[in-house]
Chain A
Amino acid sequence: MASNEKFNFAQSVAEALADSQLRANFRFATDTLIQRRGTVFASPEETNFLRDVGSSMKKDVLANLPDLLERFEAKCIKNGIVVHWAETAKDANEIILSILNEKSAKKVVKGKSMASEEIHLNAYLEEHDKEVVETDFGEFIIQLCNEPPSHIIVPAVHKNRKQIAEVLAEHVEGMEYTEDVDIMLENVRNTLREHFKTADAGISGVNFGIVETGSLCLVENEGNGRMCTTVPPLHIALMGIEKLIENVEDIPAIYRLLCGSATGQRITTYFNMISGPRKKDERDGPKEVHLVLLDNGRSRIMNDPQLGDVLKCIRCGTCLNHCPVFTRIGGHAYGSTYPGPIGEILVPQLEGLNPKGAIATASSLCDACSEACPVRIPIPEIIRRMRDESYGHGDPNSVAGYGYKKNCVESMVWRGWKWSQTSPFMNKVMLKGLALFGKWIPVVGPLKSWMSVRSKPTFGKNSLKDLVKKEGVRHE
């Protein structure tokens, strides 16, 4: 599902809703993940305090971002890491390709990285004759069937055991259909070990970059990230410029917030801090480490006081799990690298409102996401901002596609509504009008689709206001 093929959100939603297996898989997954998160964050007071810590830490980082980036870069260089800056997705892809070419690397093993999904790195490298192997178990499965991830933490969560078994039987050499998870894992393990051994380069994302020490932190359970960043002679890390953490001592809190929110663990199996290539006398680790700092629209987002909050995100994915819409339509329907609430506020900013602004409509603004977000991003407020921007109410310079949904009829209707709510006389006229003529409102346009699943409202003779005036309010 390439991001920019004709994107029709309503249609993808309809398709997703019609797939009952998909809905069952997602419902089960999100319920389980919410429940697991609850086991780590059992005490509301402690959790809220920790979220304050996370939020203030990331705010602080954003407040000093350019200085921190310069310090971080200097530290990395001192550690022997080669630092590259990529302004766009295209730049990042080209930089990575040229590093690979320089080392005549053909085969690349990859750890899970949302940034690499964002720039469509795999497709780009494959076009240029590189062999790219995803090594995270879930990513491996969906790479086999050529699908994008449907969740930022558990990428193959839209598939159940049977569906995974089918994919493996079809694509992994010498494997037969089995629902025995142990056998599946064993086979995948062996296949991937061979790839680790023979790969020319490893590509990974970065969860946190520590400014103080110039370290790249990777958080994972499987160990494939450690393999990718240690076995091959070349390691390339791709990191969004907002992923910095100032000091080592900040790590425990943000790491706990990430693990707890993402998978309901107190700690992941591995926390891997990389601070440079193999030193003299060391016997393993890559001989070269390259870091690609990715902007791709982030520095522009920083320019807006409200929108900048998006950059606090640590990609934990818990807002997806808590979202009643995501739970029902799943990740693919959003047609974007980042689905769910975080996608709704980030993707339109990265890719423009037209057509991606549409995904910001997939929210009931119930606030469940922002109540769970470990860094307290006010997601629903920013969703409303996206909607405002789509209709041309906001800042014409902040998001591409500003006002693309603006239309005269709608503007007029809202203007009328505003009038009827601000002028007492017009308010009376409207209420009387609806009471008398409401039943003749023609069933067309939005009302028609609204009524396809609801019955038409009937208007009472007396408005609520009149009734209150007459009868008062009974406090029972």
Chain B
Amino acid sequence: MSSSAESRERILSRLYNAQQYGRDAYVPQKKVWTIRNRPKEKNITEFMERMGAVRTEVYRTKGTEWVAELQKLVEERGQKTLLHAPSTPTGKVLAEKWKKKSPCKLVTWKDSIEEFKDDLFACDGAVTGCIGGIAESAAVILWPTEEEPRLMSIVPPLHVVVVEADKIYTSFQDAIKKLKWNTSMPTNALLISGPSKTADIELILQFGVHGPTDLVVFITE
């Protein structure tokens, strides 16, 4: 659009000519917020405590135990379907260990969103892996993939995340460094710290306004 190009020229030239912040203007030294890394156990404890505080259910499990626990949990709550991605490590374990007789059926994402939309909006829950967690700010880090698309963690009312204990970082800063976030940014990167919520009515916290009402996190080792 030519008018956009003209606007661009005018805006940039005004900015380049601005007196205040010209390149020679004094700008104070940038300060940096650092947090010292802590040992793994401390990270896990803090992660569990802080995630729990915003109504996330966090469980610590060994190996593939989480599948049985999850199964119990969803059956108690009367879930009918659970979306998963059998080609990912998490999804694979889930599919292998899931009891076939369970009233809660595992389903998979087919095709692209255009075709799958109705089914997706009808799903009761979804299970995804994640690439790590953060203790200091209490969040899981998701970089959605072709196997585990972005909407798995927002549309179904229940979201289950499996996080490896070794990948719980002390701080967001550390996660950015370790994951080389600045050079390997995916199409979509997410921090998720709890179930969806709003405080728009009298500032009272209410859960599950658009996204999941429940967030369940399994820490595995």
**Which of A's residues lie within 8 Å of B, judged by CB?**
28-29, 32-33, 49-50, 52-53, 56-57, 59-60, 62-66, 69-70, 84-87, 91, 95, 98, 135-138, 141, 154-157, 160-161, 164, 181-182, 184-185, 188-189, 192-193, 196-197, 212-213, 215, 221-224, 226-227, 230-231, 233, 241, 247-249, 251-253, 255-256, 263, 266-279, 281-285, 293, 295, 299-300, 302-305, 308
Contacts and interface: CB of A to CB of B under 8 A. Distances in A.
A222 B194 CA distance: 10
Chain B, interface size: which category? 35 or more
A30 to B, nearest CB: 10
A285 B150 contact: yes
B196 A269 contact: yes
B203 to A, nearest CB: 5
Contacts of A248: 176, 181-182, 185
B15 A267 contact: no
Contacts of B25: 63
B201 A85 contact: no
Interface stretch (B1-9, B36-44, B95-103): B1-9
B76 interface: no
A141 B150 contact: no
Contacts, number: 254
Contact of B211 (A155, A222, A273): A222
A49 B31 CA distance: 8
A269 B4 contact: no
A84 B149 CA distance: 28
Contact of B172 (A156, A251, A273): A251
A164 to B, nearest CB: 6
Contacts of B30: 53, 56-57, 60
Interface stretch (B65-73, B111-119, B123-131, B160-168): B111-119
Contact of B50 (A69, A247, A266): A266
A185 B4 contact: no
Contacts of A33: 203
Interface string B68-109: 000000000000000000000000000000000000000001
29 contacts: A50-B33, A56-B28, A59-B27, A63-B23, A63-B25, A164-B201, A193-B121, A212-B182, A213-B181, A215-B189, A221-B196, A222-B209, A223-B196, A224-B210, A231-B155, A249-B177, A255-B172, A256-B33, A266-B50, A268-B193, A269-B54, A269-B193, A269-B197, A277-B187, A282-B187, A300-B14, A302-B18, A303-B18, A308-B21
Given A91-B7, A267-B139, A273-B189, 7 more contacts: A86-B4, A213-B181, A231-B113, A248-B185, A267-B191, A282-B146, A302-B15
